[in-house]
Amino acid sequence: MSVQTRHFISIRTGRITLAAVLLALVLTLFISPDSYAMDKSEKMRWQLIFLSPYSGCTNYQYQMANAYDEITSKYFELYKFENSKYQPQCMPDKKYTHYQVPDDLDLIILVYDNEIGKRELHGNDVGGLYNHIGADKTRDHTIIICDCSNFGFSDPVWILSHELSHFITYYLGFDQSVVEDKIHSLGYKYDQCIEGSWEATCSSVLTHVYGDHYFTKATVMAPYEPAIGKKLFALENGTANDAITSDTVAGDASESVASSQLVMSMQKEITKWWLAGKINDTD
């Protein structure tokens, strides 16, 4: 069982569900750079949405939307990561294509129902993904996971915490050696621990969060310790200022994450569909 998480997803023409989800991310590239000349003084704002393949959501799906939402909140607490949120929602995937994302939303977390997830994620050999598009590191972040059985993939809660660690370290300005390499190394170590013999070092890659309402206890990826309690660097004219400590400025992860060839190919393909009229703003 391996952690199959990536910061991209392969999309074939005709996959309108994922195209509609990611089209909004592509369009953010056309926002004026002037809109990024700001100091991010407000807390990061996020929302979790559970997508159902049915005309409405089942009681189980509503419960899981709340459970994943609470797990996310508890995981942010482990990082001492300041945040605020909108209430979680559950909606049919077709309704989501018309959903108006709040203007002040920085991170959206989409949880695919088992049926949608197996088709759109597992069908592309992906267990979950984190993606950021645009010049402003404080906005336009997306995480997608599947509420699916863990056969062939890691547990959905583990994948959620894995992707949240990618997001948090990237958002806080850590370089690629942390955002990509360090977080994935924790995942690989976890795989070895659950597939082989348990070692004393295994306890260092995982921890637990405890719920108040919708779950009791969940196993999650241990936070990257240098990121715990770290404050967001200030933005001046859209660039990071000297408030970043020396151990976090070795490189700019935005170039490696947001501009990878696979992500760019995805963006170009969706843009072509949009321009060709295969999908539009109302799809």
Q: What is the pTM of this model?
A: 0.72
What's residue 152's pLDDT? 62
Give the pLDDT score at 150: 66
> CB neighbours (10 Å) of residue 174?
25
- Check whether 213 has a pLDDT greater than 60: yes
Compute CA 172 distance to the chain's CA centroid, rounded to the nearest angstrom: 14
Q: Is the dihedral of CA 61, 162, 191, 205 positive or negative?
A: negative
Locate the domains of the chain by residue range. 5-275
Give the phi and the psi of residue 111 in degrees, each rounded to 5.
Answer: -110, 115
Name the residue with higher pLDDT: 231 or 107.
Answer: 107
Tokens standing for 110? 């989409």
| Window from 116-120, 187-191, 239-243 with minimum mean pLDDT | 239-243
For residue 35 the two structure tokens come to 């809109």
Q: Within 80-199, where are the H helices?
A: 93-96, 114-120, 156-171, 176, 183-195
Q: For the stretch 188-206, what's the b/e string if a residue is b when 16 or more beta carbons lie within 10 angstroms of its beta carbon? A: ebbebbeeeeeeeeeeebb
- Three-state DSSP class for 145? strand
The pLDDT value recorded for residue 194 is 82
**What amino acid is encoded at 278 in this protein?**
K
Given a contact cutoff of 8 angstroms between Cβ atoms, the answer to whether 277 and 21 are in contact is no
